[in-house]
Structure 1
């Protein structure tokens, strides 16, 4: 386990807390890891640690999204996709210092990364892990997405003493964790549930959660794919409940230049269940380790 260096960056009118897992070599690429909805930088820590342990040239930085983890929320605008894309562009400029950039986004982070790149964020390569490749409400568990819409709406509308505990309910968090985890390893399942228990409720307030949830279900990567004329790696779970594998293959074809790697037996939690596989694929894709990207490319 690597203890990352914690620092803060003032961008988009708020303080962003970020965590550096490796400094890399002078002038080497900066890997920026953007976590998914309701998580924080801990979600991508295992991938960051695997990349760092491989000894590549990367500086590896994982921020907490504004309003999540310990980062401040936006002071004067909603936590929508446009806001997060603009924030990511400013954050990248602040931490990259002119070095080459490799953007990595997981789940909702894949949408933010794609929107920022389509809006002009400069990067050499992009990696989208468990990308949201189709509207969430049309996924293989679309009924669960619709229930989630009602859950977040109710949590935002009820009086705060009732609504906030509902949004931070450990029972509901555990249910979601049970549904998403595909591993049969009891120890790994316990660890995944503990990670969700620890960090899934780390958000600033109810408005942040509702606004970002709306952004996560009203947009998807396919809206931006054709505009992203840079090398893109998609790392998809074979049994992802959010975007099915056949839709990921369709998504890959929409990019001008994209490779697809499939993590067998894994769902929407590649960052927990197959971090070494993801880090290996990123290293090969970036050209800093030997091998092949994966069975589909």
Structure 2
């Protein structure tokens, strides 16, 4: 493997968000997964998270100024997490998740930015919008939400499905995006490199398919309550509705040549869902992109390796957008 063009971080500590999915054939197994996961996280995870280990202190200190807010558009409620003031920095969660997925990034960047992590339509506490039925519709909803939130321009990031939405948003509304941050997301077609739809993973292979280190995940996941579990279950259903029969593919209407703003690509080398080959191809396809690769990390670097993710984003913004950092 040629790694000369990658920025690679080896021997890192890693942990993973456990996005809860089920299969139509095994709903009872899904319930077992939810409550066994929550028991281990609630009874043991907090003790391990809130320890005095300086290596993890930056990634795990819980602040009290992250507020979940709500508003309405076209008669439907939408929700977002927000903290800080200044230039807007927006993060979009992956399929099945909520804005809470970027809890560590909200904490880290809120002293310098107005950080916003919305629940996309049908996820978290945001209501489903009847005529928004595919992923390519979501960027246009976000554009209207941003008007309500007084966001005329922002730094936009996203993971997995959220990264696909961010790419499409940047292609359709390039004047609104000053920089782009994409984490393990599909943006190009690579017929010879299969993508795994996490909805198709059987329960006994789910953890090995998504989580590089289950114990590390349990220590650091931002999802810790029964309400979180209910929102993730609802998100699984919304994700399935958005994907329909097309599966995980790039937005068919996006033009990557329109994405001329500085773009940071962050990828886990061990990502089985959207393999690293997609990151390398996307770096070549975008006019101004750079790829950072984390060893020992899978599909969700912002939760598996929050410190490396935060520092990589900060370094990128300091170099490429010093006027807003």
Tell me if 1:239 matches 2:270. yes
Q: Which runs of 5+ in 1 are unaligned?
A: 152-170, 291-297
Could you say which residue in structure 1 is the equivalent of 2:312? Answer: 281
Q: Is 1:50–2:108 an aligned residue pair? A: yes
Alpha carbons of structure 1 residues 107 and 37: separation in structure 2 relative to 1, 3 Å: same
Give me the whole-angstrom Cα distance separating, in 2, the residues matched to 1:218 and 1:176.
21
Partners of 1:275 and 1:193 lie apart in 2 by 11
* 1:200 pairs with 2:232: yes
What CA distance in whole angstroms lies between the structure 1 residues aligned with 2:172 and 2:224? 33
- In structure 2, the partner of 1:6 is 68
Aligned to 1:188: 217
Measured after TM superposition, the shift of residue 222 of structure 1 is 11
Q: Match for 2:172 among 111, 114, 119?
A: 119
Q: Taking CA–CA contacts closer than 8 Å with sequence separation of 6 or more, which of the two structures ends up with the larger relative contact order?
A: 2
- Shift in CA distance, 288/135, structure 1 to aligned 2, threshold 3 Å: closer
Matched with 1:176 is: 206
Matched residue, 1:85: 139
Normalising by structure 1, what TM-score? 0.74
Partner of 2:303: 272
Partners of 2:247 and 2:106 lie apart in 1 by 24
What aligned pairs does 1:100-111 form with structure 2 within 5 A after superposition? 100-111=153-164
CA RMSD of aligned residues (A): 3.3
Shift of 1:47: 1.9
> The residue matched to 1:234 in structure 2 has which SS?
strand
Any conservation in 1 of the 2:139–2:169 contact (CA below 8 Å)? yes
Question: After superposition, what is the alpha-carbon deviation per residue over 1:226-248, rounded to whole angstroms, capped at 9, x for unaligned?
Answer: 22011111111111112222331
CA displacement at 1:80 relative to structure 2: 0.9
Contact 1:40 1:202 in 2 (8 A): no
Q: How many residues align?
A: 255
1:113, distance to aligned residue in structure 2 (A): 1.0
Q: What are structure 2's unaligned runs of at least 5 residues?
A: 1-61
Q: Measure the CA separation in 2 of the matches of 1:46 and 1:108.
A: 19
For residue 124 of structure 1, give the secondary structure of its aligned residue in structure 2.
strand
Q: Is the 8 A contact 2:90 2:115 kept in 1?
A: yes
Residue 81 of structure 2 is aligned with which of 9, 19, 36? 19
Mapped contact 1:70–1:202 kept (Cα < 8 A): no
